[in-house]
Chains A and B, each alone.
Chain A
């Protein structure tokens, strides 16, 4: 099996878990595994990437690599691809990955497979389509490298205790790059455990009726402990909670021990981000809501009654 690369999303703080997940798959496919990390934090990420099985890490901390259009990153990656000829580049499904992979495809003229959940060989991917209701096996052809974007949480990160050699990358800025300026940046303040790492995820939907409804979930989360709060797109689009909390096709994928939703109907695009959860509890007043078909325990009733009573019962047991 030939050379397999992964794209590592990095930030000044850390390397994304998705990169470590992809390395698990890359190692299963090949002995020749490289990682590409572009932007501040890249060089430091080599420790974790090596520990998870990358033998080479192509890295640069250059600030230009995180300009908002991702053109510099895509062209820098394309130059690396041209000189080292990997057969596959695995990407996560993040925003930055979409921007970089989409441009890479235009430059290399390669096939691009999105929403993949597995790759049995460099030319055979499995993907979830139609909102996760259908799984297809897809033959990939054409120019190298095949570009495959994996759904989050498709593989478990597993450290192997290796050390990667770091290769400093030359930044390639495409000709005539128009200046794109970031006028303002707002970080969504993250408090408590991350959605993707929490043991318990509480999800709120339109049924919560407004931002105040999320207060009920906060109370329950405090009583349980180690709990993250997420939301459906309807709640995000209504402006009740920040986008960082969205679960589903366009947001995070969660696989906690327990996922509990209140006022979420369970549309396909939401389900794709939560149906892998170990146990699913859903509270909705609509007995026909699709989420009830995914639930281990479905409760048909008014969340404004069920949630406070549940919080009280949990407090009684945990003493929090």
Chain B
């Protein structure tokens, strides 16, 4: 079974990233890492190939420093990586990103399953993997909280829906987006970290992927940036004997009681 996991490098996984003068994300000096949200799907993919055989490949688009994110995934146990880096892709929108990732997935040959997170920590559009699925002509199961493969040919996933949950069976090849519920990510072992250094990371150019300048031109541009208005006039108190009265007064004033 060949599984591709989409992994993204994010600039500040724990903190707040910022925009620079050019209205693009500041990358210089950012303590970037593999998006923590991508580790859940990667973990589940590794568990599936460890059980049923096969390989997990990582596909990513990002700046040069994104190599660190791919290496982290290799240290966790993936076999190989593809990272597409090009100055022309700075500030790429979802359409361009989807086209690049689709071409990179295709460069790996036949794939049984593509795994992505529901949304990235920094961009959180939450549509990108679905666009990739359509470009690849694959069915997609989104918002999966559990993921399994039956007899190497059908995926089973429980997914969250607006109404509740549903368990679906989908023939492979397919694409799935997962939440943090699918698995508990492992920490890479020392052996894994050492071994990752000798695992291959392909670095195709846009030309290698047969992508044209036209097809990789972004269709959106940030024209201005402002900080969201900050809250003023709030009060913070230590809990004490009068706290219940104080909160209840606020409820009364708001006319909800």
Residue ranges of A at the interface with B (Cβ–Cβ < 8 Å): 9, 11, 68-71, 74, 93-96, 98-99, 101-103, 105-107, 109-115, 124, 128, 130-143, 149, 176-188, 199-200, 224-226, 237, 242-244, 249-250, 257-258, 260, 268, 275, 278-281, 283, 287, 292-302, 305-306, 309-310, 312-314, 317-318
Contact = CB atoms under 8 A, between A and B. Distances in A.
A247 to B, nearest CB: 14
A303 B228 CA distance: 30
B212 interface: no
A153 B10 CA distance: 28
Query: Which of A128, A134, A183, A312 counts the most B-chain CB atoms under 10 A from its CB?
Result: A134
Nearest to B118: A250
Contact of B237 (A113, A182, A224, A300): A300
B234 A293 contact: yes
A130 B18 contact: yes
A103 B219 contact: no
B125 to A, nearest CB: 4
Q: Chain B's interface: helix, strand, loop or mixed, by majority?
A: mixed
A133 B18 CA distance: 9
B162 A130 contact: no
B88 interface: no
A178 B139 contact: yes
20 contacts: A69-B140, A71-B140, A94-B162, A98-B127, A112-B93, A124-B223, A134-B19, A135-B228, A136-B19, A137-B224, A137-B225, A178-B170, A185-B165, A188-B164, A199-B256, A224-B256, A224-B257, A244-B162, A250-B126, A297-B246
Interface stretch (B51-59, B130-138, B191-199): B130-138
A102 B131 contact: yes
Contact of A95 (B143, B170, B174): B143
B16 A106 contact: no
B111 to A, nearest CB: 15
Query: Which of A68, A107, A111, A258 counts the most B-chain CB atoms under 10 A from its CB?
Result: A68
Given A242-B164, A309-B244, 8 more contacts: A133-B16, A134-B18, A179-B171, A180-B169, A183-B167, A188-B164, A224-B251, A258-B251
Chain B interface extent, by class: 35 or more
Interface of B: 16-19, 23, 93-95, 98, 118-119, 122, 124-135, 137, 139-143, 145, 156, 159-171, 174, 179-181, 219-228, 230-231, 233-240, 243-248, 250-252, 254-257
Contact of B125 (A115, A186, A226): A115
A180 B127 contact: no
B164 to A, nearest CB: 4
Given A134-B228, A306-B244, A298 B235 contact: yes
Contacts of B143: 95
B117 to A, nearest CB: 11
Which 3 A-B pairs have CB atoms at the shortest separation, nearest pair first? A301-B239, A102-B130, A142-B219
Q: Chain A's interface: helix, strand, loop or mixed, by majority?
A: mixed
Contacts of B23: 136
Query: Which of B94, B240, B243, B247 counts the most A-chain CB atoms under 10 A from its CB?
Result: B247
A250 B220 CA distance: 24
A297 B247 contact: yes
Contacts of A136: 19, 23, 222, 224-226
Contacts of B125: 112, 114-115, 149
Query: Which of A112, A140, A295 counts the most B-chain CB atoms under 10 A from its CB?
Result: A112
A306 B243 contact: yes
A185 B228 contact: no
Query: Which of B127, B165, B179 counts the most A-chain CB atoms under 10 A from its CB?
Result: B127
A93 B248 CA distance: 34
Contacts of B179: 237, 250
Contacts of A318: 257
B247 A281 contact: yes
B248 A314 contact: yes
A313 B142 contact: no
B230 to A, nearest CB: 8
Contacts of A250: 118-119, 126, 179
Given A179-B171, A180-B141, A310-B248, A111 B93 contact: yes
A29 to B, nearest CB: 18
Given A178-B171, A180-B141, A257-B255, A317 B163 contact: no
A267 to B, nearest CB: 10
A226 B219 CA distance: 45
B163 A106 contact: no
A149 B23 CA distance: 21
Given A101-B127, A112-B94, A300 B236 contact: yes
Contacts of B141: 68-69, 180
Contacts of B231: 275, 293-295
Contacts of A74: 134
Nearest to B245: A313
B162 A9 contact: yes
B130 A98 contact: yes
A320 B16 CA distance: 43
Given A137-B224, A138-B223, A301-B239, A257 B254 contact: yes
Contacts of A137: 222-225
A281 B250 contact: yes
A239 B144 CA distance: 15
